[in-house]
Amino acid sequence: MIYIETNSADVCYNFGAEYYFTAEKPLDGTVFLFWRTTPTLMVGRYQNVLEEVDRAYADAHGIRIVRRMSGGGTIYTDLGGWQFTFIEDARAEDIQFQRYISPVIDALAELGVEAAFNGRNDLTIAGRKISGNAQYRLGGRVVHHGSLLFDTDLEQMAAATTADRYKIESKSIPSVRERVTNIAWHLPAPMDAEAFKADVVRHILGPEGETYAITPEDDARIRALAQERFASWESTYGQGPAFNIERVGRFPGGTMRFRLEVKRGVIRQTAVSGDFFSTLDGESFHAALSGCRYERGAVLEALEKLCADGAVYRVSPAEMAKAIVD
C-alpha cells in the first residue's frame, strides 16, 4: 500500500491526482489517497446536473459543481467530510465494492463505530448512510473512491441536492435521496476531523505501508489535468446526457413557456408559447438560442441581441434568461 497526501482541498486537483496516478504515473502496488474538499457537489458520470442539484442555491452559497469520471449518484462534500481513493490493477471484469469498503469498515470498528455495507454501494450506521462509493476503469486499472460523512453540514447537503421541480425528460439516472448521518455523532468519544483522518490512514496503510511525496513535476501535471479534465464548463455540463426541459415565466407582459432540447450542455431546439406580446416569431427565438450554452450568461447575451429594441412587451431579456435557466 502506498499513501499519497495531496495537501489540497480543491476537488479538481484531487480528481486530477487520481487520474495522474492511474493513467500517467502508475505506481507499483495499491495507491491510497485520503482527502477532502471545500463545499462541492460531485455529479455522477451519467447524470443530468439539472435533475440532481439546485444550481441557483449552489451558486449563491459558493458550492462548486463538478462531474466525476465514475457513475452513481450526486454527493455533497465539504471540509467536514473526507474522501478516500484506492487505485490498483484491475483484478476482475465486474465492479467490486466489497474489496475497498471492507478496510474502511474495519478502520471505523477500531474507532468504536459499527458500520455496514448495504449491498449496493453505500456504508451505513444503523441504517443511515455515511458513505457513497463509485468506481471507474482506466488503462487496465481500477479507481475506487468513496465519501465519508464525518461532520458534514447536512442541512446544506439537503438544500443543495434538491433540484427545483422542473419538468424534465431525460435518459440519465436520478440520485436516490437517502437518510444520512455523521460519523462524529457515533464515536464513543469526541474527535476532530484531522485526528479521525490520522487514525483511518494509519489503520488502512498498516505497518508495511509506504508514502509517496508529490514532486514539483507531479504537481504541475496534476494541476494541468485538473483544469483540462475537471474544472471546465465542458467537463461538468458538456458531458451530461441529452434532455428536454420546459420552463414557464410569468411576467407583467404575459406568460411565456419555453420548451428546450439540450445536448452536451448546448441548446439545440427552442419552442416558445404563451399569451405574451411580441414583434418576433417563434423561429426568431429558436435561431437566437440554437447553439447557445445552457447557462444564464450565454442565454442572456443571446436574448439581449434578439430583443435589443424591446421586441417582447414588458418582458426584459434578463427576466427571460432567469426563467429559462434558473
First to last CA, the chain: 46
From CA 132, how far away is CA 101, in angstroms rounded?
10
Tell me how crowded residue 318 is: count the other CB atoms within 10 A of its CB.
Answer: 12
Give the rounded percent of residues in the chain with a pLDDT score beyond 90. 80
Spatial CA neighbour of 125 closest among 71, 184, 74, 79:
184
pLDDT band at 52 (very low <50, low <70, confident <90, very high): confident
Helix crossing, 282-289 with 296-306: angle to 10°? 140
What is the set of domains in the chain, with CATH numbers?
Answer: 2-238 (3.30.930.10), 243-325 (3.30.390.50)
> What Å distances lie between residue 219 and 21, 73, 111, 243, CA to CA?
11, 29, 33, 37
Q: Which residues pair with 259 in a beta bridge?
A: 246, 271
List Cα–Cα distances, 163 to 48, 159, 168, 177, 220, in angstroms.
11, 8, 11, 11, 36
Quote the pLDDT of residue 173: 46
Per-residue cell: 119: 449491498
Instruction: State the Cα–Cα distance between residues 138 and 64, nearest whole angstrom.
Output: 25
Question: Is residue 241 very low, low, confident or very high in pLDDT (cuts 50, 70, 90)?
Answer: confident
Confidence of residue 170 (pLDDT cuts 50, 70, 90): low
Axis crossing angle, helix 98-110 with helix 193-205, rounded to the nearest 10: 120
pTM to 2 decimals? Answer: 0.85
The single-letter code of the amino acid at 185 is W
